[in-house]
């Protein structure tokens, strides 16, 4: 694998390989010194043209635990503000010697463009409304470990609730969950669905109460208010009443059901309960697992066959 730009490009075999590799990385992360020399002398650059807390820190932590050198680029303090083009920025940073770019950008397709301008590997950390493949892999890893389903998700029912239209997480997760065998239901008002769902392996319902007591995983999405240029819901209060996870709805979940959210959460909007009080919430595990999964991705892209992941830490 040279790049990780979409779940489709990864394919189901690649997904399974990364999930297995994530188990090794999780084992490293449980050690007293969670660090291995696997990517020594490799350089990983994070290029974030859009805001991020957890994804950027997660990739940087993952790179450091594999002993890679890291560089971080924030658009707010860069020459982009002096009018430098994306291509010039990439070529300038690449000239310093870079093995992988981790890229987040508000425009769909930017990771593909960048991979035409550099020899380095490119990891998509979120491009516009399009894809967020490492989020999907860490979510599959979280479901697989929390429900103890290493062989796959056959027979599992996953509901993805909320602002599907603007969600790169939904676009990546639908394909990843479905390729592992899960049945997926999207739950949203018409205005928060993409104009066409042709070819998506999903069912759609418009009433969360129709399915909440039957799902194995309830995946809540953030209302992406920064991407909405018109009123797509009558009011946030009404949205919560119709689609939010309220205490009454949480009580109707099956006892084994997981509650997930990619973060950042809008408390009181889609999450009208304190996730800390939900026995099925794995939202914190998603963040923890994100580091192991991103270690697996970086190792898969940059590690040499001889760098044994399980070897003693330095």
Q: Which is nearer to ligand NCD, 111 or 126 (CB)?
A: 126
Work out which of 130, 132, 157, 183 binds ligand NCD, going by CB under 6 A: 132
- CA-CA distance, 230 to 238, in Å (whole number)? 16
222 in contact with ligand NCD (CB under 6 A): yes
Q: 227 catalytic, yes or no?
A: no
Binding of ligand NCD at residue 140 (CB under 6 A)? Answer: no
Any catalytic annotation for residue 104?
yes
Nearer to ligand NCD (CB atom), residue 11 or residue 264:
264
Token code pair at residue 81: 């503000």
Binds ligand NCD (CB under 6 A): choice among 34, 111, 126, 189: 126
User: By CB under 6 A, is residue 169 in contact with ligand NCD?
Assistant: yes
Catalytic residue among 17, 24, 35, 54: 54
* 262 touches ligand NCD (CB under 6 A): yes
Under the binding rule (CB under 6 A), the answer on residue 263 touching ligand NCD is: yes
CB 297 within 8 A of CB 138: no
Rounded to whole angstroms, the Cα distance separating 100 from 93 reads 11
Find the binding residues for ligand NCD in span 2-61 (CB under 6 A). Answer: 54-55
CB of 26 to ligand NCD, least distance (A): 19
CA dihedral 275, 276, 280, 285 (to 10 degrees): 100
Token pair belonging to 225: 């208010």
Q: Is the dihedral of CA 165, 169, 172, 173 positive or negative?
A: negative
Question: Minimum distance between the CB of residue 40 and ligand NCD, rounded to whole angstroms?
Answer: 28
Cα 287 from Cα 159, distance rounded (Å): 20
Phi, psi (rounded to 5 degrees) for 230: -150, 165
Centre a 10 Å sphere on the Cβ of residue 290 and count the other Cβ atoms it contains.
27
Establish if 135 lies at the interface with ligand NCD (CB under 6 A).
Answer: yes
Judged by CB under 6 A, the chain residues 285 through 314 that form the site for ligand NCD are: none
80-93 exposure pattern, b = at least 16 Cβ within 10 A, e = fewer: beeeeebeebbeeb
State yes or no: is 82 an active-site residue: yes
**Is position 54 annotated as part of the catalytic site?**
yes
Q: Cα separation of 216 and 256, whole Å?
A: 7
168 binds ligand NCD (CB under 6 A): yes
Residue 132 annotated as catalytic: yes
**Which residue is catalytic, options 132, 144, 166, 222?**
132
Q: How far is the CB of 20 from ligand NCD (least distance, A)?
A: 23
Two structure tokens written together for 289? 């697992």
Interface residue list for ligand NCD (CB under 6 A): 54-55, 126, 132, 135, 168-169, 222, 224, 262-263
Q: Which residues are catalytic?
A: 54-55, 82, 104, 132
């Amino acid at each position: 694998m040279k790049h990780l730009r979409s779940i489709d490009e990864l394919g189901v075999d690649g997904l399974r390989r990364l999930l297995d590799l994530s188990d090794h990385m999780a084992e490293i992360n449980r050690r007293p010194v969670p660090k291995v020399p696997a990517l020594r002398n490799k350089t990983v650059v994070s290029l974030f043209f859009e805001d991020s807390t957890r994804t950027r820190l997660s990739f940087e932590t993952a790179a450091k635990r594999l002993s890679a050198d890291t560089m971080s680029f924030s658009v707010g303090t860069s020459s982009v503000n002096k009018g430098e083009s994306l291509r010039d920025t990439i070529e300038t940073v690449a000239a310093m010697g870079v093995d992988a770019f981790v890229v987040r950008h508000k425009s769909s397709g930017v990771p593909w463009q960048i991979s035409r301008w550099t020899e380095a590997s490119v990891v998509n950390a979120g491009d516009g409304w399009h894809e967020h493949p490492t989020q999907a892999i860490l979510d599959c890893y979280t479901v697989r470990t929390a429900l103890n389903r290493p062989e796959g998700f056959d027979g599992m029912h996953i509901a993805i609730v909320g602002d599907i239209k603007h969600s790169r997480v939904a676009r990546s997760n639908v394909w990843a969950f479905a390729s592992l065998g899960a049945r997926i239901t999207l739950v949203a008002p018409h205005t928060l669905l993409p104009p066409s769902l042709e070819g998506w392996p999903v069912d759609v319902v418009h009433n969360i109460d129709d399915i909440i007591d039957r799902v194995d995983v309830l995946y809540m999405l953030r209302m992406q208010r920064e991407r909405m240029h018109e009123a797509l819901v009558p009011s946030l209060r009404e949205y919560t009443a119709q689609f939010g996870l309220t205490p009454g709805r949480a009580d109707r979940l099956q006892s084994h059901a997981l509650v997930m959210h990619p973060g950042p959460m809008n408390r009181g909007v889609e999450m009208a309960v304190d996730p800390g009080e939900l026995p099925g919430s794995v939202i914190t595990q998603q963040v923890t697992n994100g580091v192991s999964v991103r270690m697996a991705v970086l190792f898969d892209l940059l590690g040499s066959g001889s760098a044994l992941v399980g070897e003693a830490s330095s």
